[in-house]
Amino acid sequence: MKCPFCGNEMSEGTLTSGRYIQWKAVDGETGKKQEYLLAKSYMGGAKMEGWLCPYCRKLVLDIPEL
């Protein structure tokens, strides 16, 4: 896959974590924190498949429906 940011070839792989992979964002206007659960595993080993660009250091992930 070509990187959408720099156009170089990306590497396919897996992002792994313990029990959850979670995104935490802060709304700049209100300062309110927003949390999104991206992947979970009840026995540990949550993972997401995606692409990594070693040139511009960007990660592209598809967020699954939970």
pLDDT digits (tens, 9 = 90+) for 19-60: 888 888 887 777 777 888 888 888 888 888 999 999 999 999
Does 5 map to a domain?
A: no
pTM attached to this predicted model: 0.70
Does 51 map to a domain?
A: yes
pLDDT on residue 24: 84
Largest Cα–Cα separation, the chain: 38
Does 39 map to a domain?
A: yes
Does 35 map to a domain?
A: yes
pLDDT at 10 exceeding the cut of 70: yes
Domain count across the chain: 1
Cα-Cα-Cα-Cα torsion 51, 57, 58, 60, nearest 10 degrees, comes to 10
Does 19 map to a domain?
A: yes
pLDDT on residue 34: 83
Query: Which band of pLDDT confidence, cut at 50, 70 and 90, is reported for residue 66?
Result: low
